[in-house]
Amino acid sequence: MICAKAMPALILPLVDAATHWPARGALIGLDLGTKTIGVAVSDPDRRLATGVETIQRKAFKQDAARLLAIAAERKATGFVLGLPINMDGSEGPRAQSTRAFARNLAGLTALPIGLWDERLSTAAVERELIGMDVSRAKRAEVIDEHAAIFILQGALDRLANLRASPGID
């Protein structure tokens, strides 16, 4: 289900990407790891993020095909990709790898891609799962999907706050 587009998708910071998404429609949230991709989806009104699955990374084309299939199944209008910024605000190798993934994905879809600062998302999710007394083995199975939920929910909350602010559409 990979189809090349004449124009690649836009890759923008979340707030800028949101201006290119329709007012309603699901967003797909992604937490890119070196071995897995955590996937979450929002409801069409963009209020709640829920987990979809954890993709075991293989080759980019296979990974992208699965992501685009999920986007089609969910009638998604865009992607939110967690960008791992360093604590000092700089971008290291993981952020560069994420940007490269976004560029490659953008070549296969017209759905705009919003980048969202995901600092500490995995650590926050890990703490939450430990607090829930989830075993180490079970945490390893679900951490990426839960990180994708955390990333997407943070982005949804940011967009909701923007809409609620006076003078901002």
The three-state (H, E, C) secondary structure of 74-103, written as one string: CCEEEEEEEECECCCCCECHHHHHHHHHHH
The span from the CA of 16 to the CA of 138, in Å, is: 36
Q: Does residue 4 lie within any of the structural domains?
A: no
Q: Is residue 64 part of a domain?
A: yes
Give the number of other CB atoms < 10 A from CB of residue 168. 9
Domain annotation covers residue 114: yes
Cross-strand partners of 11: 113
Q: Is 168 a domain residue?
A: no
Task: Assign residue 48 the CATH number of its domain.
Answer: 3.30.420.140
Residues sharing a CB contact under 8 Å with residue 66, sequence separation 6 or more, in sequence order: 55
Whether 70 is covered by a domain: the verdict is yes
Strand partners, 115: 13, 81
Query: Would 96 be classed as within a structural domain?
Result: yes
* Domain contains 42: yes
Q: Into how many domains does the chain fold?
A: 1
The pLDDT score that the predictor gives to residue 128 is 79
Alpha-carbon distances of 4 from 20, 37, 111, rounded to whole Å: 20, 22, 12
Q: How high is the pLDDT of residue 57?
A: 95
Residues of the chain predicted below pLDDT 50: 1-2, 4-5, 168-169
Confirm whether 95 is domain-assigned.
yes
- Joined together, the tokens standing for residue 124 give 């926050």
- 144 — phi, psi (to 5°)? -70, -40
The pLDDT, as a whole number, for residue 97 is 94
Q: State the pTM of this model.
A: 0.86
- What span, in angstroms and rounded, lies between the C-alpha atoms of 20 and 164? 18
Query: 129 is in which domain, residue-wise?
Result: 11-163
pLDDT score of 20: 95
